[in-house]
Amino acid sequence: MLCLHVREEGWTESVKRNWICVRLDIYGVMKRTLLLCACALLLGAAVGAGAQTESAQPAAPLLTMFPHSDTSAWWLSGQANIIFQAHGAFHSPYEGPNSFTARGEYKTSLLGTLYTGYAWHFNRRYETDFLVDVESTGGRGLSQALGLAGFTNLDVVRNPNLGSVPYLARGEIEQTIGLTNRMVPQSRDALDLATKVPARRIVIRVGKMSLPDQFDVNEVESDSHLQFENWTVDNNGAWDYAADTRGYTVGGLIEYDSPEWEFRYGIVSMPVEANAETLDWAFSRANGQNFEFDLLKSLVPGRHGEERILAYVNHANMGDYRRSVQDYLAGLTPTPEITYTEKQGTVKYGFGWNEEQDVTNHLRIGTRFGWDDGAHESFAYTEVDQTVEVAADYSGGQWGRPNDKIGFAFVSNAIKKDHQRYLALGGLGFLLGDGKLNYGRENIEESYYNLHAWRGMYFALDVQHIDNPGYNRDRGPVWVEGVRAHVDF
């Protein structure tokens, strides 16, 4: 398209006509995606019709491109997720080095994962799983994933210079120790290979892992591949969970599971500096400790429901917002600089609450609340000190599409006074920094429709509206439109 140079130019009157072309091109992409969905639906309908003629009892729909065995000791699967996002120009009287770009732009991300595993059964009460996952990330996020606390695409790596070279995402050993002979069913997937587990058990995991695989999980709002895409919708934004820039860490986790409640504790490596690719392996010097209690009890009789309470404590080489501002006002630094006040062994802590609840056969609601001390440097996930979130999804069973989903979420993020003043005086975080700050809560609404096309093929339309991007009332609001294609195999 000849209009692509808009992303590199300012918004003059002559360029506005070109942006109209770009928006038309975006909507053209969406229309072509919907056309592909329709073709896939027709193909899926034809396959389904053929299957029904062979059996009076139609089989459950296959939700991966190829079936996976429930009896084999080996596991092999994968996924690919492509997200295209764009936004138009929005009000912005000024910009800083870490601002969300005010002129119109569009970007595409690609994430692919290969999951492998082997399950070794000592007896029915003891099982050892070996998991090795390889991943590749490509493309870039809008504005290089800067300028928003609740960034719009969870698949984007926060360091775009890392490239798409495959890397080890997970390398875990999972040991299950049964405390009873009574077995209960478990859905087999790439992270848990057993189909039956003891009703009461201890599970130990060690190796390279991602903490959101096990902590703060919410079935309504945790999956950027089939649900919402925003960072602070899919995860608790105030949980500065230990991870490198790709979202992985190394350590150990132990949990107790029962039919009534669960408890888990993990201790893992922190990055050597904010948003770093390298982890600090000296646990005596730096570590992230996480605690979670899950109550497996529904608020609605006869429906599924869970509540989770999360707490974390990070020890790392973190800076202090108030001291950084004091050094600037004393003339020791030209601008507030958080890295100048970093001190090994600094403690940052926070809490979270998470609930999911089935309301009807089709409607589910998820909520989160998060809080951290706000005094010390946002270090590993994003720049949020407090968050409140509510989300809901509705399955398409009532209109004959049981594997489709429509979802809506609202999240409101905030930072504390010291963090606000640091940004207002020109300080930079690893994500935010407009040079000035007229503070306001960053409020985000997101909605999606996820269409199951055929087997493991899905397509989705997504739209996000962001008020006060980067907590700045002087900028925005901004609309971000997106198209997602996802394959499970």
**Does residue 109 contact residue 140 with C-beta atoms inside 8 Å?**
yes
Tokens of 246: 């790709």
Torsion angles phi and psi, residue 118, rounded to 5: -140, 130
Condensed to tens digits (0 to 9), the pLDDT of residues 157-180 reads: 877 677 789 999 999 999 999 999
pLDDT score at 5: 35
pLDDT score at 158: 75
State the average pLDDT over residues 216-234.
Answer: 97
State the average pLDDT over residues 423-441.
Answer: 97
H-only helix segments in 55-205: none
Domain layout of the chain by residue ranges: 1-48, 66-488
Condensed to tens digits (0 to 9), the pLDDT of residues 181-222 reads: 999 999 999 999 999 999 999 999 999 999 999 999 999 999
| Contacts (Cβ under 8 Å, ≥6 apart) of 238 | 350, 352, 370, 371, 372, 384, 385, 386, 387
Torsion angles phi and psi, residue 67, rounded to 5: -70, 150
Half-sphere exposure of 84 (CA within 13 A, CB side): 14
Greater confidence (13 vs 482) lies with 482
pLDDT score at 247: 95
State the average pLDDT over residues 316-337.
Answer: 97
pLDDT surpasses 70 at 244: yes
Tokens of 228: 């919402």
Q: Compute the mean pLDDT over every residue in the chain, rounded to the nearest whole number.
A: 89
**Does residue 103 contact residue 12 with C-beta atoms inside 8 Å?**
no
| DSSP state for residue 338 in the 8-state scheme | G
pLDDT surpasses 90 at 2: no
Sign of CA dihedral 239, 389, 108, 82: positive
**For the domain bounded by 66-488, which CATH number is listed?**
2.40.160.180
3-state secondary structure of 317: strand
State the average pLDDT over residues 234-260.
Answer: 97
**Does residue 463 contact residue 483 with C-beta atoms inside 8 Å?**
no
What is the C-alpha separation between 272 and 317, in angstroms, rounded? 7
